[in-house]
A and B are shown apart, each in its own frame.
Chain A
Amino acid sequence: MAQAASAPGTQALPELASVYWRPRVDEDALRRRGTLWTTVTVAHVVPFVAIAVLIFVLQPLAVAVSLIALAKAWLIPALYAQRGANVVRPKGRLDDEPEHRALGLLGDLVGHEARDLYAETGLVLERGALGVWLVGEAGAVLVRPGRRRIFCYCVRVPADELPSADRTSHLLLALREDEAGFATVANLAFSGARWRLRRRLDRRMRPALAAAAEAAGAS
């Protein structure tokens, strides 16, 4: 297995100064955020399901209203998961030549396996201390050890003129510099079960999520 992305505590990402009010992400913080996301999801789902059941019990003829409540119980968590999937959605591409040059540099930064996976899915797999990362051009997904929970982070280099692979390289280098700092600077878009993200993820990217889950299970 490759080495973890940045040894903990060795260097701090300079961008942390721009989010000085945020506590640095660590194992405990991730656990708390995960629990909070689960609680919020349950708080969204349970009332709608309860209302659906109650209405049906009180007035079976109002089954349509019950179905609407059930649809909302399904839709709201699905929208959150979609928000998570959106962080790795591909952005616009530039001309072939810059993209090709940027891809060459990215290829120099990663190993053969990660390069092949990037060519197939557009995501770079990077093993870290917090889990296994999938780095895209405007966000990253963290698959936690145990493979069940994922965190989707929205993070980017604010330079739209950069080729896609360069945007990914920016994030990859920052992640390698300071993994916890990277997770602190990034905005958390979604956390939940891996299967919820998988359903919302672009089909082309699903093999990357499977590979990350496999790597997270092995770590």
Chain B
Amino acid sequence: MSRLVRMDRSGHTTLAEWTAADERSVESAVAAFREELGRGSFAVVPQGEGRAEQVSELPVDADLVVMRRPIAGG
């Protein structure tokens, strides 16, 4: 089961879960994904230690997609 999570005040919230074989769950995840992008978040797929890929479309085969907010110099 793949997960789309958003880091927020609760620690993190699971926005969607899907399996590639279940079309309805994928559609629901894509909708949640686009909604978060529309809010100004960035989507990142962790790829093990030291690597992460930013994506603009939901990668259906990813295990975990994390929505993060923009960072800025302090």
Contacts and interface: CB of A to CB of B under 8 A. Distances in A.
Partners in one complex: yes
Interface string B25-48: 000000000000000001010101
A157 B46 contact: no
Contact of A155 (B10, B48, B69, B72): B72
B10 A101 contact: yes
A115 to B, nearest CB: 11
Given A2-B49, A6-B51, A127-B50, A166 B11 contact: yes
B49 A3 contact: yes
B54 A14 contact: yes
A108 interface: yes
Interface residues of A, number: 57
B1 interface: no
Nearest to B7: A166
B11 A102 contact: yes
A65 B52 CA distance: 56
13 contacts: A5-B50, A6-B52, A18-B70, A18-B72, A105-B66, A154-B73, A156-B71, A157-B71, A162-B9, A166-B7, A166-B12, A174-B68, A176-B50
